[in-house]
Structure 1
Amino acid sequence: MKRILCMTLLITLGVFATWVSNAAQEPRFPIQAFEVAQNLHVLSSDPNQQGMRTGGNTGVFITTNGIVLVDTKIKGYGPDILAEVRKISDKPITTIINTHTHWDHSGSNPEFSDTINFVAHDNTLKHMSGDNCSDGTGFQGGSITNCESFKGTNEKYLPNTTFATQHTLFSGSDQIDLFYFGRGHTDGDIFVVYKEARTVQTGDMFARKGLPYIDSARSNGSATEFGATLRKAVAGISDIDTVITGHADDLHTWADLVNYSGFYNDLATKAKAANSRGQSVDDFVSAYRAPTQYSDFSVDESRLRTVVELMYNGQ
């Protein structure tokens, strides 16, 4: 019996040692900077490595008095971000803007100086300072809202500048305009406009050319309001040529954002009509095909089903 127990223990220890070794050898996925316009760069990576492995796109904007970061990827990527930033400029990082609360966009906030001005929407602050931080859908089993990262002494990394509908930072060639148009991916998604560069960073309101993830359960996102929010953004933002999405590793155009709004709202209109006539979600998903003018937008069946179910349920 003792021999069996010893062998079991040795096997268990061996498996654990192998797991630790494999974890230690897990490759660290690289990020790199590319220029968008004068004084504006993006830190990105292969889209297949984003989210769980690196996080969403990070904007790097060089102003007269310092550097503005927009989103900070997942936890642990603060040093990587800083290393890439230092290849561009030696100015201090003065401001961090979060497009929304999620852990793959705010994960490295506490890895920067607590003297930084952290900026976000009012609702993003609410989620970041929330109490339910163990829903298991975030970084290493934490919360999707990343609220565990801002507890205790880390409370100082919570946003100290928040707004409800619109806010402007700086002036002249440094001007950044922040817009909130309503619920969508979460209830705190903002659009970041770099005025001089004629560029908008959308966060996950336009993550990539495909259907969105709607976090209705934990961040009060809404599939039924997502389309209206996109329409308001298209109508409310002007003089834009370039779009930085939440997760794609290439730049998009203003026309792409306009078409994304059309693509999503076309789906929403068809889903609403199908629901009204009693068509099941399964039948709708099986029959749905994106219109020809939106053929460059991917339609993953699983994501389609999830979005349509939310629409049918009025969420």
Structure 2
Amino acid sequence: MRRPIFLSIVTIISVSLMVVSNEARQSRASLALHQVDENLYMLANAPSVQGMGGGGNTAIFVTSSGVVLVDTKISGYGADILEQVRGITDLPISTIINTHTHWDHSGSNVEFSDSVNFIVHENTLSHMSRPTCNDGAGYRGGSITNCESFKGDNSKYLPKTTFSTRTSLFSGIEQVDLYYFGRGHTDGDTFVVFKEARAMHTGDMFARRGLPYLDVDNTNGSAIEFGLTLEKAVAGIAGVDIIIPGHDNILRTWDDFVNYSGFYNDLLTKAQTGLAAGQSPEEVIEAYTVPQRYSDFEVTEQRLAATVQHISDGR
């Protein structure tokens, strides 16, 4: 088995300013470009960035005919992504895959050419094309689904290529496999596998080493099915060594992903067992402790409370 090779990390400090919807200028987040394999990169927030920064991690994959992006960060970062692509190749961006609909992963879609082939899970397209976008949970009070970005003339950026359970792009050493295993963070989470590089972008099904944000209210995510979806991914995907997480600013390993599934499902089992025995959500939370084998996973009070409440509600 070829072992993962973590190549040099190039930190790019951006000192430019941005304008979003003619609002006040603000400092841009610093980004870091990590080379995963010969033709595969991860563009992430620099280690110094606190909070959301530029949004979710972007994968950059160079093929013989064009560049494939996975996720486009928050609104206003299209030029930043393109700048990093141009430091790698002069080939055009031909394909953009969104792991899910959220504004911090699809925010800059409309800043690229409308000739790009946008690809998403069919449920993600349903969220992107919603007629109303007034949940207020997204960027600057917009929709968490980012659906307002695709209205009017920008409807041309709505993906025209979708899949249901699995599909493959390209062939040979350029093959990219897309998997869907069920509800979790949302109801349209895609796992993107770069076959030759033995690498996978997980989106926010593995955002970082901690409890996930579960978008139950807006995009039909599920605290209960999140665990099952992780288990299906672990069992159903082979040949991966390197993980590009949804937000974590360093590359992870397949073992990290497997342990993440174990960590989450341990909590799920404990919560379901406690609730079935008559405990309240508050009692389940009070009784929960992180097993020693998962001690490097973060559990915040807010995420723990939200997760247990969703489980209690059967959601």
Same fold at TM > 0.5: yes
1:101 is displaced (CA, Å) by 0.2
1:20 maps to none
> Which ranges of structure 2 fall in alignment gaps of 5 or more residues?
1-22
2:250 maps to 250
Three-state SS of the structure 1 residue aligned to 2:200 is strand
CA contact (8 A) 1:32 1:84 kept: no
Per-residue CA distance 1:26-76 (angstroms, 9 max, x = gap): 321122311011100011014774764311000000001010000000000
CA contact (8 A) 1:200 1:242 kept: yes
Distance, in Å, in 1 between the alignment partners of 2:115 and 2:304 is 43
| Residue correspondences, number | 293
Three-state SS of the structure 2 residue aligned to 1:217 is helix
2:180 maps to 180
What is the correspondence of 1:138-149 to structure 2 with a 5 Å cutoff?
138-149=138-149
Per-residue CA distance 1:109-129 (angstroms, 9 max, x = gap): 000000000000000000000
Deviation beyond 6 Å, 4+ runs, structure 1: none
What is the correspondence of 1:2-21 to structure 2 with a 5 Å cutoff?
none
Distance, in Å, in 1 between the alignment partners of 2:126 and 2:167 is 18
Three-state SS of the structure 1 residue aligned to 2:105 is helix
1:216 maps to 216
2:99 maps to 99
Distance, in Å, in 2 between the alignment partners of 1:295 and 1:165 is 33
Q: Percent identity between the aligned chains?
A: 60
Distance, in Å, in 2 between the alignment partners of 1:132 and 1:301 is 33
1:34 maps to 34
**Structure with the higher helix share, 1 or 2:** 1
1:194 maps to 194
The answer to whether the aligner puts 1:166 opposite 2:185 as a matched pair is no
1:6 maps to none
CA contact (8 A) 1:41 1:61 kept: yes
1:287 is displaced (CA, Å) by 2.1
**Structure with the higher strand share, 1 or 2:** 2
CA contact (8 A) 1:50 1:247 kept: no
CA contact (8 A) 1:51 1:104 kept: no
Task: State the one-letter code of the partner of 1:202.
Answer: T
What is the correspondence of 1:124-163 to structure 2 with a 5 Å cutoff?
124-163=124-163
Three-state SS of the structure 1 residue aligned to 2:217 is coil
Three-state SS of the structure 1 residue aligned to 2:279 is coil
CA contact (8 A) 1:185 1:221 kept: yes
Distance 1:226 1:50, change over 3 A: farther
2:225 maps to 225
Distance, in Å, in 2 between the alignment partners of 1:205 and 1:180 is 11
1:312 is displaced (CA, Å) by 0.6
1:24 is displaced (CA, Å) by 4.3
Distance, in Å, in 2 between the alignment partners of 1:182 and 1:51 is 28
Distance, in Å, in 1 between the alignment partners of 2:201 and 2:50 is 17
1:298 is displaced (CA, Å) by 0.6
Distance, in Å, in 2 between the alignment partners of 1:51 and 1:76 is 17
1:8 maps to none
Q: Choose 245-254 or 48-57, whichever is displaced more.
A: 48-57
CA contact (8 A) 2:32 2:46 kept: no
> Which ranges of structure 1 fall in alignment gaps of 5 or more residues?
1-22
Distance, in Å, in 1 between the alignment partners of 2:256 and 2:247 is 15
1:270 maps to 270
Three-state SS of the structure 2 residue aligned to 1:218 is helix
Distance, in Å, in 2 between the alignment partners of 1:104 and 1:181 is 22
Three-state SS of the structure 1 residue aligned to 2:250 is coil
Three-state SS of the structure 1 residue aligned to 2:218 is coil
Three-state SS of the structure 2 residue aligned to 1:88 is coil
1:310 maps to 310
Three-state SS of the structure 2 residue aligned to 1:167 is strand
Three-state SS of the structure 1 residue aligned to 2:219 is coil
Distance 1:218 1:102, change over 3 A: same
Per-residue CA distance 1:6-33 (angstroms, 9 max, x = gap): xxxxxxxxxxxxxxxxx84632112231
Taking structure 1 as the reference length, the TM-score comes to 0.91
Three-state SS of the structure 1 residue aligned to 2:211 is coil
Taking structure 2 as the reference length, the TM-score comes to 0.91
2:299 maps to 299
Task: State the one-letter code of the partner of 2:152.
Answer: G
